[in-house]
């Protein structure tokens, strides 16, 4: 039986493994951490569970082209989820704007709160509705498509590409023409990176409108539990605490892996679902760097500089229905991490998941963008006490801020947790602690190649291939399985949830 070795037990790696097992391959997954999941992770602090990943999970509507991939892995028919009717609120000097999922209702809200921007609002809603009507085929990886498949793909991608081009202006530039301060803040805050095009906002608005974004009850932990169960029930072997040191290559063909403990594992194919930069620079010793990968990983052009601090609070209270599920709160005292000053913080009020806290209690989570991962790594390594003190200082400020906004917080805080860029690097090995991979939107539009020139039987998958998010990572793993099947002359079989 053909054997495939997979580096990384995150969503993409587990998806690749499950799909390959379903198609008659023997697979082994090697995960560096003691638990699988990668960036799709959760952790316990006392009686509270911190979901370190899921805010919204897209492509979860049964009508979405990606749904069969997701359903085949985690049995969506029996996976309870919350679909947002109202995604978030944002406030400016007492003016509150509600981001409703339904675009007609959202347009009414925008015109009520921001009447001075009527024509711009109509333009935005029209764009979001157009994007909502586009369906991109997802049944086949581009690498295995026949002529008819390519024609279908080109037609839908041409329409989406035209919208992406039309709305390509960076959000930071687009908002300059908007008169309403609260609308400027909503557009500036939501996609998190002002250099992203306004298209990114419209895309998410279209997903909410289509009821194509939800939250799985049990969060990241339940999602990973289901992926692991699916993979292992198909006969896959998962090895945790097994960091890979090198990809073994003979005569230009990937032949296996060498682990950190010195043990070597042989296989017919190798897939890296791990960090892209680490794969190219360490696992492959920079030996297979072509023009594309040189630019991606070894120049300053695409280096992901944005990481984050992820602050979680366990509070002995619940919140009323006006907070669901996300609130952007203005900071009374802006906070600067590295070179980035943050004036608003996204607070996820996790009332909607009763598995994360005891009855009558809630987890609040928030993140602050940071661009100084090296600083946090050095501080933790060289001055551990100062590292912990700085984390606590930031947490205390966030407690003051959420108390000022919500009230009745400080006296009810029972749990405090702060993950820094150093945490992301330690536990996931992600380049510069970047939790979302590339921050260059163009690399999602025109993704890097899954195969490396002059290296046979080796593939890359995951977010460093532009396949970001939970469903994107699942599709990335599925795509690799399809490519391997085509190479072997086998008919691919999509995993079924039954």
CB 362 within 8 A of CB 402: no
**How many of the other CB atoms lie within 10 Å of CB of 145?**
17
The pLDDT tens digits of the residues spanning 176-219 come to 999 999 999 899 876 566 678 999 999 999 999 999 999 999 99
Cα separations (Å) of 462 from 5, 161, 203, 431? 15, 22, 21, 13
**Type and span of the H or E element at 403:** helix 384-406
Q: Is the pTM of this model over 0.85?
A: yes
Give the contacts of 408 (CB within 8 A, at least 6 positions apart). Answer: 317
DSSP-derived secondary structure for 81-116 = EEE-SEEEEEEETTEEEEEESSHHHHHHHHHHH-GG
CB 313 within 8 A of CB 375: no
Q: Residue for token digits 């991606």?
A: 296
Per-residue tens of pLDDT for the chain, all 498 residues: 999 999 999 999 999 999 999 999 999 999 999 999 999 999 999 999 999 999 889 999 999 999 999 999 999 999 999 998 888 888 888 888 999 999 999 999 999 999 999 999 999 999 999 999 999 999 999 999 999 999 988 988 899 999 999 999 999 899 999 999 999 989 987 656 667 899 999 999 999 999 999 999 999 999 999 999 999 999 999 999 999 999 999 999 999 999 999 999 999 999 999 999 999 999 999 999 988 899 999 999 889 988 999 999 999 999 876 556 888 888 999 999 999 888 889 899 998 899 999 999 999 999 999 999 999 999 999 999 999 999 999 999 999 999 999 999 999 999 999 999 999 999 999 999 998 888 777 777 788 899 998 999 999 999 999 888 999 999 999 999 999 999 999 999 886 654
Strands 26-30 and 244-250, by their bridges, are unpaired
* Strand-by-strand arrangement of the 81-83 sheet: 57-58, 213-216, 81-83
Domains (ranges, CATH) in the chain? 3-40+58-78+217-302+438-488 (3.50.50.60), 102-210 (no CATH), 307-431 (no CATH)
């Amino acid at each position: 039986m053909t054997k495939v070795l997979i580096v990384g037990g995150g969503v993409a790696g587990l998806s690749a493994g499950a799909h390959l097992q379903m198609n008659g391959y023997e697979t082994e997954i090697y995960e560096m951490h003691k638990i699988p999941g990668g960036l799709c992770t959760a952790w316990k602090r006392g009686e509270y569970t911190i979901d370190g990943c899921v805010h919204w999970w897209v492509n979860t509507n049964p009508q979405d082209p990606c749904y069969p991939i997701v359903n085949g892995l985690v049995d969506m028919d029996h996976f309870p989820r919350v679909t947002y009717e109202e995604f978030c609120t944002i406030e400016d000097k007492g003016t509150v704007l509600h981001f409703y999922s339904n675009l007609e209702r959202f347009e009414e809200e925008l015109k009520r709160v921001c009447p001075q921007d009527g024509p711009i609002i109509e333009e935005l809603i029209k764009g979001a509705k157009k994007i909502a009507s586009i369906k991109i085929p997802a049944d086949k990886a581009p690498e295995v498509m026949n002529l008819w498949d390519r024609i279908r793909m080109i037609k839908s991608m041409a329409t989406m590409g035209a919208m992406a081009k039309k709305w390509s202006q960076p959000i930071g530039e687009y908002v300059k023409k908007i008169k309403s301060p609260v609308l400027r803040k909503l557009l500036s805050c939501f996609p998190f990176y002002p250099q992203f095009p306004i298209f990114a906002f419209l895309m998410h608005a279209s997903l909410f409108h289509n009821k194509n974004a939800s939250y799985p009850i049990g969060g990241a932990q339940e999602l990973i539990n289901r992926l692991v169960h699916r993979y292992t029930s198909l006969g896959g072997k998962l090895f945790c605490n097994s960091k890979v040191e090198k990809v073994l290559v003979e005569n230009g063909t990937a032949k296996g892996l060498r682990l950190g403990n010195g043990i070597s594992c042989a296989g017919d194919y190798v897939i890296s679902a791990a960090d892209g930069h680490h794969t190219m620079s360490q696992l492959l010793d920079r030996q297979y760097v072509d023009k594309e990968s040189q630019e991606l990983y070894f120049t300053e052009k695409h280096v992901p500089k944005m990481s984050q601090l992820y602050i979680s609070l366990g509070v002995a209270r619940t919140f009323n229905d006006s907070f669901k599920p996300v609130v952007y709160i203005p900071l009374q005292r802006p906070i600067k991490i590295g070179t980035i000053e943050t004036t608003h913080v996204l607070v996820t009020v996790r009332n909607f998941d009763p598995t994360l806290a005891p009855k009558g209690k809630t987890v609040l989570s928030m993140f602050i963008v940071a661009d100084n991962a090296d600083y946090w790594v050095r501080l933790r390594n060289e001055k551990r006490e100062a590292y912990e003190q700085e984390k606590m200082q930031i947490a205390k400020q966030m407690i003051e801020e959420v108390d000022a906004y919500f009230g009745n917080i400080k006296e009810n805080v029972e749990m405090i947790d702060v993950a820094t860029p150093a945490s992301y690097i330690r536990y996931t090995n992600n380049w510069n602690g970047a939790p979302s991979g590339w921050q260059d939107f163009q690399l999602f539009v025109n993704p890097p190649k899954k195969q490396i020139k002059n290296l046979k039987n080796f593939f890359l998958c995951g977010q460093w291939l532009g396949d970001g998010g939970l469903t994107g990572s699942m599709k990335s793993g599925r795509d690799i399985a399809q490519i391997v099947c085509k190479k072997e002359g086998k008919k691919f079989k999509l995993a079924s949830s039954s």
